[in-house]
Structure 1
Amino acid sequence: MNLNQQPTTDELARLFASRKDSLDSHILWVSAEGDVHIDCLSPCSEESEFGKDRPNMRARLKMYRRGHGYVGKKAAADTHYMERVLSTLTETWQQARAAREVQVVDRYC
């Protein structure tokens, strides 16, 4: 899914559905090219360390903690939640693509 190509909530829902909430904590992030990713966070790593291995990261949302239902098939089925996440990503991307620092988002639109 790329934020420069008019993404849809269905695309975002497929991305969320591809992860399993009960296994790991996750971080949703956007690359310099506008590609949206959801990656697992290693059990022993800190949220603040996440960006060190991703030099092309321009924005990210706060960590989705394991077992809270923020990712996975149930989260993907919540259309209101997917609309809010997509709106937040779209708004954040407008600011983040020109920024030098990684934009960390801690609330939804």
Structure 2
Amino acid sequence: MNLNNQPTIDELAEMFAAQKDTLDDHILWIGKSGEVQIDCLAPHTEEAEFDRNNRELAARLKMYRRGQGYVGKKAAADRNFIEQVFHTLNTEWQNLKGQSHVKVIDRYC
């Protein structure tokens, strides 16, 4: 999903549904091109380590810890949650353009 190409809430919900909450921690991030991704993280990976190792990172949300229900089919079916994330991503992307530092988004709009 790319924030520059008129993304839809359904695209975001599909991204969340494709993840398994019980298997890994996950991180939702925006690349410098506007591409949004959810990555699984190796056990015990720190958020700062993810930041250092990802050159394309423009912004990210706080890590979704395994087993907390923030990713997976149930999270994708929670329309209010997905709408909040979608709105936050779009709002933050508008504010990020031209920024050179990585932004950590710690709350939803």
TM-score, structure 2 as length reference: 0.96
Residue aligning to 2:23: 23
Residue aligning to 1:42: 42
Residue aligning to 1:9: 9
Residue aligning to 1:70: 70
SS at match of 1:19: coil
Unaligned runs of 5+ residues in structure 2 are: none
Please give the per-residue CA displacement for 1:30-80, whole angstroms capped at 9, x wherever unaligned.
Answer: 011100000011102211110222111101000001000000000000111
Unaligned runs of 5+ residues in structure 1 are: none
SS at match of 1:37: strand
TM-score, structure 1 as length reference: 0.96
1:100 correspondence with 2:100: yes
Distance 1:60 1:9 in 2: 18
Distance 2:107 2:86 in 1: 12
Please give the per-residue CA displacement for 1:69-94, whole angstroms capped at 9, x wherever unaligned.
Answer: 00000000011111000000001101
Distance 2:17 2:97 in 1: 26
Contact 1:16 1:72 in 2 (8 A): yes
State the AA in 2 paired with 1:19: Q
Q: Which stretches of structure 1, 4 residues or more, deviate above 6 A after TM superposition?
A: none
Residue aligning to 1:91: 91
Contact 1:58 1:97 in 2 (8 A): no
